[in-house]
Copies of this chain bind each other. A is one copy, B any other.
Amino acid sequence: MEEALTPRQSRILKHIIEEYVVTATPVSSEAVVRRYEPHVSSATVRNEMATLQDGGFLQHPHASAGRVPSDVGYRHYVQYLMGDAHLSQTEERTVLHQFHQVEGDIAEWIHLAAAVLSSSMQMPVVAIPPVAHVSRLRRLDLVEMSPGTVLVVVITWSGTVRQQLIRVEGEPSTTLNQLAEHLNEAFWEQSAADIRVIAAGWSDAGILEMIAHLLDDEDRGQAANLRIEGLSYMAGQPEFGTGDRLQPIVETLERPRTLEALLEPLFQAHGVYISIGQEQPVEALRECSVVLGTYGRPGDISGVVGVIGPTRLPYWRAVPLVEYVAYVLDRLLEGTLV
């Protein structure tokens, strides 16, 4: 274990990070003195920077360049140096106001959350609508689309709606409503597992399996609903300027599977979660960081919103913003938006 940082070292690290995040170029000792620490000489700062580098907080691209924060440096920053920033009153009001506009529409919530985050951060965004840990049936509908084809619509406890077409052998359509009513009574508030248990000793197991499957689907259904927006912002980042650097990252972000893996731990946790560079489980995102926030009730109905960017991302803005958007979604989900 290294020595703890002196107050001045902490300050210098903080300055370097905040400078580098903005300029995207290595920070020199001169720059630190000029902009932040005018009472010491650049030589002093150089000594401190060398110490910080030994501690693993900074990197040195080459001899005649300034310093760049390392993943460890960023981690230290978000844990000890950043403080807990908040949005300003007016910013909070602006965000809230936008959500007021779409109060009723679940699908729009998550869309808007993505839009707010990505336009404000100028970075890609992931947003997952509220999904239930264990889905229970709230309502079932059977609608005849054409002779022999029935649309099964399942509404889950969390308000997600899923549908699937199935074919049936020529049954009189009058039965359909009655059948739906019957199933609704029988399986109200049941989970996929429950339904499967009952289905075992049932004659018409086919449609029940389908219903159970649709409920299942929601559990692992983040993939379907998981949406990433603002990928174009990645192309604007100087570290990913060339196509060959950019392509694997965008490809990874487009694939729902890897994102799912990225978000997996979140469904247990609560609050804001930050993963920086190498900490990432996903290989291709080794030069990226994510700031994620959960909303809803962990283990029950919950979702995730967050931003993704290069490790050089303005954590001090991302964290409070994600925090606040998650908070608003939380309240929306509780139906208590004032």
- Contact residues of A with B, CB < 8 Å? 103-107, 111, 138-139, 141, 143, 145-146, 148-149, 151, 153, 155, 159, 161-167, 210, 224, 229-232, 235-238, 240-244, 246-248, 250-251, 253-254, 335
Contact = CB atoms under 8 A, between A and B. Distances in A.
B165 A105 contact: yes
A243 B236 contact: yes
Contacts of A103: 165
Contact of A165 (B146, B153, B159, B231): B159
A153 B149 contact: no
A106 B163 contact: yes
Contact of A153 (B145, B161, B238, B246): B161
A39 B111 CA distance: 61
Nearest to A138: B143
A237 B251 CA distance: 13
This protein's copies in its complex: 2
Contact of A232 (B146, B210, B224, B254): B254
A325 to B, nearest CB: 19
B254 A247 contact: no
Given A243-B246, A246-B243, A145 B164 contact: no
A336 to B, nearest CB: 10
A233 to B, nearest CB: 8
Nearest to A155: B143
A303 B105 CA distance: 24
A72 B161 CA distance: 48
Contact of A139 (B138, B143, B210, B250): B143
A224 B114 CA distance: 13
Contacts of A161: 153, 161, 163
B224 A251 contact: no
A159 B138 CA distance: 20
A229 B242 contact: no
A311 B163 CA distance: 38
A247 B232 contact: yes
A235 B335 CA distance: 42
Contact of A106 (B104, B165, B237, B242): B165
A235 B232 contact: no
25 contacts: A104-B165, A104-B167, A106-B164, A106-B165, A107-B163, A139-B141, A141-B141, A141-B153, A143-B155, A146-B335, A151-B155, A159-B165, A232-B247, A232-B248, A232-B251, A235-B235, A235-B243, A235-B250, A236-B247, A237-B243, A238-B243, A241-B244, A242-B242, A243-B246, A246-B246
